[in-house]
Amino acid sequence: MAASKPTGKRAPATPAADRDSRGQGDELHQLAGGAHPVLTSNQGIPVADNQNSLRQGPRGPTLLEDFLLREKITHFDHERIPERIVHARGSAAHGFFELTKSLGKVTRAKILTEVGVKTPVFTRFSTVAGGAGSVDTPRDVRGFAVKFYTKEGNWDLVGNNIPVFFIQDAIKFPDLIHAVKMEPDRAFPQAASAHDTFWDFVSLMPESMHMIMWAMSDRTIPRSLRTIEGFGIHSFRLLDDEGNSTFVKFHWRPKLGLQSTIWDEALKLQAADNDFHRRDLFEAIQRGDFPEWELAVQLFSEEQADGFPFDHLDPTKIIPESLVPLQVIGRMVLDRWPDNFFAETEQVAFCPANVPPGIDFSNDPLLQGRLFSYLDTQLIRLGGPNFNQIPINAPKCPFANHQRDGHMQMQVPKGRVAYDPSSLQEDSPRETPAGFRSHASADDGRKGRTRAESFADHYSQARMFFRSLEKPEQAHLASALVFELSKVETEKVRVRTVSHLRNIDEGLAKRVADGLALRTLPDPAPTATPAQDLPAAPEVRVIGRSKPLLQGRSIGILFDEGSDARVIANLRKAVEKAGASVKLVAPKVGGATLSDGKVQAADGQLAGTPSVVFDAVAVVLSADAGKALAKEAAAIGFVSDAWAHLKAIASDEGAQALLKAARVGNDAGTVEAEDSKAFLTAAATRQWAREPKLRLLA
Ligand code: HDE
C-alpha cells in the first residue's frame, strides 16, 4: 500500500490510510477465498483489521494503545515452553488398548482384568539426546511412553525400546545426560553419542556396558516407529485384593515385526528427511494402516527372583525369556493423529508414578528416582501445579480432591469446603477403601549410600547379548563401536572402552581395536565380578526375530516417459493387496506419459525422494529413459543405495542401463518387474546374504 507523501500538514480527521487498510484486508481475503468465522481477540472482541497496527498517521509511530497488536505479539513471545531435558524430540498418536487376557489372579487393576474393554491411550515416541527440532533418525534409544486413561485414573507406562538402562542409580542420571548431550562449550554434536564426553563417561561406568551393547546394535537405528519394541525396563509389582504381590515386566511387541536400518541408510535418511519417523507414523495413520503392538508380561514371584543369577531390581539386566516366558495379554492400536502438536504431543506429561490401584513399584533404585523426577520437571516445563488439567493430561474418569488455586487454575470449584475431614457439604470428596494402596513390603536395613553386591556383575549379560546376535548384527555392532570411537578425539577414552570390551568378548575387542588401528590391546578393565557364560537369548536379535512381512512396508517405483503402464499397475496392485504402500517417483513431480498414453503424476520427485525412504524399489523404464537416467546421479544413487542397503530391486528391460551404471549385481533380491510374486517375497525382508559382497565390516 503506497503511503501518502508527508505534507507537513495535520492529517485529516478520517485519514485515507484507514480506508486503504480495510481495502487491503478485503483483497487478501478474496484471494484466499472461503467463508470463515469472525476473528476476535482473546477477549472475544471482533477484529476489523488484522494487517496493520495502529499508527499516528500512515508513516508515523505505532501507538502503545494498540491492544490488538500488543496482545498478539505478547502471546507470540510466550509461545515456546522449555523443551524436555531428555526425549525432547517426539511424535505421538491417540489410540486404544484392549485387554485380551485377564491378570485377575494377580492384580485388582481394572485395566489388567477387564477383557475386551477398550481403554483410550496416548502414546509418545521420542529420541533421547537431541533437541525438539533435531532429526528423527540418529543412533539413539527411542522413548516409548503410553498414557492409559483407565477407569481408575491414568496409568503411565514410560518405557524405552531397549529393555535395560545405562546406570543403576538415579543419582547418575544428570551426569549421563550431560555427557551425551552436546558438549557445553562448543554446543555440538546435536543428537549424537559419538563424541568424547559420552564415551569418557560410559567408559568410566562399567555398569553401562550391557546397555552399550544394545545402543550400538541395530535396535537404535529403527526403520520406523511402527517397528520398534517397547519395554517398561524396571520390575513393577501387581497387587491382588489381599495385597499379595507378583513382580511384572512389561513388553510391547510391534505387529509389523522388529525392523531396523543399515547405518549408511540411517545417515542418508537424516539428509533425505529430518522428519522421517514422524512422517511415516502420520502417513500410516492417515491412510488407515494403524500401527499395532501386543502387550506382553513376564510374571514372577519373589522366590523365583531369589533364584535368578542376577538381581531383577538392577535395571541393567534383562530377565531372559527362557527363564520367564512372555505372556501376551492385550493389544494397542494407534488410530488417530493429534489435532494439534503443541496442545497434545508437547504438553503431554508422563510420569512413572501414575499407577492405578493394583499396580505398584519395585525397589529398583532407578525407578525410585524416576518417581520423583517427572512431576518435578513438569512443574517447570508446563509452568505450574495445574498441568493435570490440560486436556491431554486430565484423567477421563471423574477426579476430585481439595487441592486448590495455583497458576492457570481452570476449574471453578463450588462450595465452602476445601479440606478433609469435613461434614458441611455432602458432595465433598472422601477417601475410599478401594483406593490405591502400597505393597506392605518388609524392607529394612542400615541407612547408607550403598549398592547391593548383587548389582556387581556388569559384563555377563553384555556378553550374552553380543553372543546371541546373528553374525551380520555382530558385525554392525562392531562397526558402530568403531564409528563412534573414531569420532572420539581423546585416545585414552578409546583405549579404555576397548579394555571393557575385552571383558565382554575377546573377538569383539580385537575387531574394534583393529578398526581403530590400536597397535596393542589394552589390559581388560578391572572387574568386581568376572563375566559368566550364560545361555544364548535369541530374543535380543533383530534378524529373525519376526517373520518376513510385506505389510506396512513402503515401496518406491521409479518411472519416466514411456514406462510400461501395465507393469506399474500390476506391481502396484500386488503390493497394495499385500498391505504395503506404493509411491511413484519420477524425475519431474508432474510425472510423465506412460506407454498407454496417459499422464501419470509422481508422488515424489527423484532428487528429493531417494530410495532410503523406501523398503524396496522397482525401476520401470523405457529403453530411452533408462539410457538417459544412466547419466543422472540422482537416478544412479536411487538404485545403488537400494542395492547397498540390502533392499529388493525389481526392474524391467529398459531399466538395465541404469542398473548397470549403478553397479547392481544379481541375487535373490533382484527380480523382474513382471514377476510381482517374486518381488513380494523379496521385498518382505532385507537381503542379508548380499552384505558381505559389498561392505567391509569391522
Ligand atoms: Fe526418563 N525422564 N528419566 N527415562 N523418560 C523424562 O520427563 C528421568 C529413564 C523416558 O514422551 C523427563 O517429562 C530420570 C528410563 C521417556 O514425554 C525427566 C531417569 C526410562 C521419557 C526424566 C530417567 C526413561 C522420559 C524429561 C533416571 C525408560 C519421555 C521430560 C532415574 C524406562 C516421555 C519429562 C515423553 C522423560 C527423568 C531414566 C524413559 C527429566 C531422572 C530408565 C520415554 O523427568
First to last CA, the chain: 66
DSSP string of 480-544, one letter each residue: HHHHHHHT---HHHHHHHHHHHHHH-HHHHHHHHHHTT-SSPPPPPP-SSPPP-PPP-GGG-STT
Please, what are the averages of pLDDT over each run of 10 residues along the chain (698 residues)?
42 48 71 90 96 95 96 95 97 99 98 98 98 98 98 98 98 98 98 98 98 98 98 98 97 98 97 97 98 98 97 98 98 98 98 98 97 96 96 97 96 96 96 96 90 97 98 97 98 98 98 97 95 97 94 98 98 98 98 98 97 98 98 98 98 98 97 97 96 87
Question: C-alpha grid cell for residue 408?
Answer: 492457570
- Does residue 158 have its Cβ closer than 6 Å to ligand 1? yes
Ligand 1 centroid to 146 CA: how many Å?
12
Strand 236-239 and strand 359-361: the pairing is: antiparallel
Atom of ligand 1 nearest to the CA of 126: 11
Secondary structure of 490-503 in the HEC alphabet? CHHHHHHHHHHHHH
Given a contact cutoff of 8 angstroms between Cβ atoms, the answer to whether 222 and 269 are in contact is no
Name the closest-CA residue to atom 24, ligand 1. 159
- Does residue 374 have its Cβ closer than 6 Å to ligand 1? yes
Query: In this structure, which amino acid lies at residue 261?
Result: T
Ligand 1 centroid to 231 CA: how many Å?
13
Domains of the chain: 39-79 (4.10.91.20), 90-181+223-389 (2.40.180.10), 554-694 (3.40.50.880)
Ligand 1 centroid to 538 CA: how many Å?
28
Q: What is the DSSP letter of 695?
A: -
Ligand 1 centroid to 548 CA: how many Å?
33
Name the closest-CA residue to atom 20, ligand 1. 159
Annotated ligand binding at 84? The verdict is yes
| Sequence-distant (≥ 6) Cβ neighbours of residue 237 within 8 angstroms | 245, 246, 247, 248, 359, 360, 361, 362, 439
Name the closest-CA residue to atom 3, ligand 1. 370
Mutation probe of ligand 1 site: the residue of 87, 181, 318 with most atoms within 8 A of C-beta: 87
Query: Residue 23: what pLDDT?
Result: 53
| Sequence-distant (≥ 6) Cβ neighbours of residue 315 within 8 angstroms | 164, 165, 167, 168, 233, 234, 364, 366, 367
ipTM > 0.90 (yes/no): yes
Beta-carbon neighbour count of residue 549 at 10 Å? 17
Atom of ligand 1 nearest to the CA of 373: 44
| Sequence-distant (≥ 6) Cβ neighbours of residue 436 within 8 angstroms | 355, 356, 357
Q: Which residues of 98-114 are buried (b: 16+ CB within 10 A; e: fewer)?
A: ebeeebbebbbbbbbbb
**Over the Cα atoms of the chain, what is R_g?**
30
Mutation probe of ligand 1 site: the residue of 140, 154, 158, 371 with most atoms within 8 A of C-beta: 158
Query: In this structure, which amino acid lies at residue 417?
Result: V
- Does residue 365 have its Cβ closer than 6 Å to ligand 1? no
Question: C-alpha grid cell for residue 376?
Answer: 518435578
Name the closest-CA residue to atom 25, ligand 1. 87
- 475: phi then psi, degrees, rounded to nearest 5: -65, -40
- Which of 52, 154, 160, 354 is an active site residue? 160
Query: In this structure, which amino acid lies at residue 371?
Result: L
Name the closest-CA residue to atom 16, ligand 1. 143
Annotated ligand binding at 451? The verdict is no
- Alpha-carbon gap, residue 278 to 274, rounded angstroms: 9
- Alpha-carbon gap, residue 109 to 148, rounded angstroms: 12
Annotated ligand binding at 419? The verdict is no
- Alpha-carbon gap, residue 576 to 584, rounded angstroms: 13
- Helix ranges (H only) for 204-297 are 209-215, 263-272, 276-286
Annotated ligand binding at 124? The verdict is yes
- Does residue 163 have its Cβ closer than 6 Å to ligand 1? no
Atom of ligand 1 nearest to the CA of 377: 44
- Does residue 96 have its Cβ closer than 6 Å to ligand 1? no
- Which of 87, 195, 312, 458 is an active site residue? 87
- Does residue 367 have its Cβ closer than 6 Å to ligand 1? no
Active site residue 160: yes
| Sequence-distant (≥ 6) Cβ neighbours of residue 29 within 8 angstroms | 36
Q: With the C-alpha atoms ordered 481, 229, 683, 616, is the resulting torsion angle positive or negative?
A: negative
Given a contact cutoff of 8 angstroms between Cβ atoms, the answer to whether 223 and 91 are in contact is no
Query: In this structure, which amino acid lies at residue 608?
Result: G
Secondary structure of 616-664 in the HEC alphabet? EEEECCCHHHHHHHCCCHHHHHHHHHHHHCCCCEEECHHHHHHHHHCCC
Name the closest-CA residue to atom 31, ligand 1. 170
- Does residue 173 have its Cβ closer than 6 Å to ligand 1? yes
- Alpha-carbon gap, residue 81 to 381, rounded angstroms: 6
Query: In this structure, which amino acid lies at residue 330?
Result: G
Mutation probe of ligand 1 site: the residue of 350, 372, 392 with most atoms within 8 A of C-beta: 350
- Does residue 316 have its Cβ closer than 6 Å to ligand 1? no
Ligand 1 centroid to 140 CA: how many Å?
14
Ligand 1 centroid to 86 CA: how many Å?
7
Given a contact cutoff of 8 angstroms between Cβ atoms, the answer to whether 343 and 394 are in contact is no
| Sequence-distant (≥ 6) Cβ neighbours of residue 55 within 8 angstroms | 17, 61, 62, 63
Atom of ligand 1 nearest to the CA of 167: 27
Atom of ligand 1 nearest to the CA of 160: 28
- Alpha-carbon gap, residue 467 to 639, rounded angstroms: 34
DSSP string of 96-123, one letter each residue: EEEE-S--TTT---GGGT-TTPEEEEEE
Name the closest-CA residue to atom 6, ligand 1. 86
Give the distance, in angstroms, between the CA of residue 78 and the centroid of all CA atoms in the same chain: 27
- Does residue 278 have its Cβ closer than 6 Å to ligand 1? no
- Does residue 84 have its Cβ closer than 6 Å to ligand 1? yes
Q: How many CA atoms lie within 13 A of 145 on its CB side?
A: 27
Atom of ligand 1 nearest to the CA of 369: 31
Q: With the C-alpha atoms ordered 543, 544, 549, 552, is the resulting torsion angle positive or negative?
A: negative
Rounded to the nearest 5 percent, the helix, strand and coil shares of the chain are 35, 15, 50
- Does residue 155 have its Cβ closer than 6 Å to ligand 1? no
| Sequence-distant (≥ 6) Cβ neighbours of residue 30 within 8 angstroms | none
Question: C-alpha grid cell for residue 292?
Answer: 499395532
Query: Residue 26: what pLDDT?
Result: 78
Annotated ligand binding at 381? The verdict is yes
Query: In this structure, which amino acid lies at residue 19?
Result: R
Ligand 1 centroid to 87 CA: how many Å?
7
Ligand 1 centroid to 632 CA: how many Å?
46
E-assigned strands of 306-399? 327-336, 359-361
Ligand 1 centroid to 175 CA: how many Å?
14
Ligand 1 centroid to 482 CA: how many Å?
28
Is 332 strand, coil or helix? strand
Is 359 strand, coil or helix? strand
Peptide bond between residue 15 and the one before it cis (omega within 30 degrees of 0)? no
- Alpha-carbon gap, residue 487 to 500, rounded angstroms: 18
- Alpha-carbon gap, residue 528 to 544, rounded angstroms: 35
Query: At CA 69, angle to CA 67 and CA 75, rounded to 5?
Result: 95
- Does residue 392 have its Cβ closer than 6 Å to ligand 1? no
Atom of ligand 1 nearest to the CA of 378: 13
